[in-house]
Amino acid sequence: MRASYIIAIAVAAAAIAWIASGQFEEAPVLVSDQPAGEAKKLQASQASRVPKVRVRTSVAAQRSRRMVFLGRTEASRKVSLKAETPGRIVAVPAAEGSRVRRGNLIVRLAIDDRRARFGEAEAVLRQRRMEYQAARELTARKFRSKVKLAEAEANLEAAKAGRARAAVEIRRTAIVAPFDGILDARVVEVGDFVKIGNPVATFIDLTPIRVTGHVSELNIGRLTTGMKAAVKLVDGKSAEGVIRFVASEAHETTRTFKIQVEIANAGRAMVAGMTAEISIPLAPVAAHKVSPAVLGLSDAGQVGIKTVGADGRVAFHGVDIIDEDSAGIWITGQDGRLGARVTLITVGHEFVKAGQAVQPFPEKDPALTKLGGDGS
């Protein structure tokens, strides 16, 4: 049961009890309706009348906390492969959804006249080398100026660049996997013609896989990179990971901070795009174990509990629910004044207010029968 459900049930129970108390409250006895002597006795009696409440001593214990929120699985790397040279698709050896090793062919384009252009570039390069060598020898013998030598050297470098371009054009006809991963989608088929920049395929890496979630402003300060986290998917799969990223700037609209949990996912059991529950253990704190029924609301709408102090008066403490199980909930004080040992009001807290004097009775006190309790 979620903490929000527990709070809602407790508030509803308190509201019902308050309504019932208004319907069955005894009509007050007016002092003015009594004789003078009786009026004084009635005033003394009413002045000494103090509400009775059931209490028990609660001792705090160390309890581990967990921050739980929803996230979504994502690929650790995702790239859109695009054509770097125009051409017609002649081969698509990799099937969608298949695992492809780095460097393996995904799509091949037609070579066309690229090999011929490469051969031409090599021939021009050989010629420029010979011209340059001849220019060096003639310049050394003072038969040619240094300007002509520089011109021959420039022509040689231009020929080298031309051959490199021709070689790159040939290499670009083979579109290969940039890393070990999965061919998530392929948008071309044999016979398609692509231009430079046209998408060809989407390639993803799921080892490791990341789970991305968003944390509120109140909780972001509790998280740091390297902290351990447990992740549970909607299909029941679960795994352990570590926080690899904590955003330093809140989302402009939601005012939440992005975090990423990285999971090894060696067997690729997890896939991208699934809803996940992220659970991050926090440092243990001193907490009290109570029943959800003791929760109530302050006049300002704050969720909390009521206790009885050493002076016999009621105090209200705002609380945070840090954990829950079948036997109850674990709470800590928001105001820092909920001590390690408190006298908790378990019955009657709906009818008393902070600062009011009360008569506390331990849960097993026989006098509880007067409160309508069973003493259990």
Is 180 in contact with 101 (CB distance < 8 Å)?
yes
Residue 305 forms part of a structural domain: yes
CATH number, residue 109? 2.40.50.100
Domain enclosing residue 43, as ranges: 3-65+285-371
Size of the chain in residues:
376
At 58-100, the pLDDT tens digits run 999 998 888 999 999 999 999 999 999 999 999 999 999 999 9
CATH number, residue 301? 2.40.420.20
Is 208 found in the same domain as 349? no
106-131 average pLDDT score? 96
Is 121 in contact with 159 (CB distance < 8 Å)?
yes
Is 340 in contact with 52 (CB distance < 8 Å)?
no
Q: Residue 272, SS3? A: coil
Higher pLDDT, 36 or 167: 167
Q: How far apart are the first and last CA of the chain?
A: 25
Say which residues have a Cβ less than 8 Å from residue 29's Cβ, sequence separation at least 6: 42
At 93-116, the pLDDT tens digits run 999 999 999 999 999 999 999 999
At 183-206, the pLDDT tens digits run 999 999 999 999 999 999 999 999
At 312-326, the pLDDT tens digits run 999 999 998 888 888
110-139 average pLDDT score? 94
At 243-267, the pLDDT tens digits run 999 999 999 999 999 999 999 998 8
Is 347 in contact with 53 (CB distance < 8 Å)?
yes
Q: End of a domain among 282, 301, 327?
A: 282
Is 66 in contact with 321 (CB distance < 8 Å)?
no
pTM of the model: 0.65
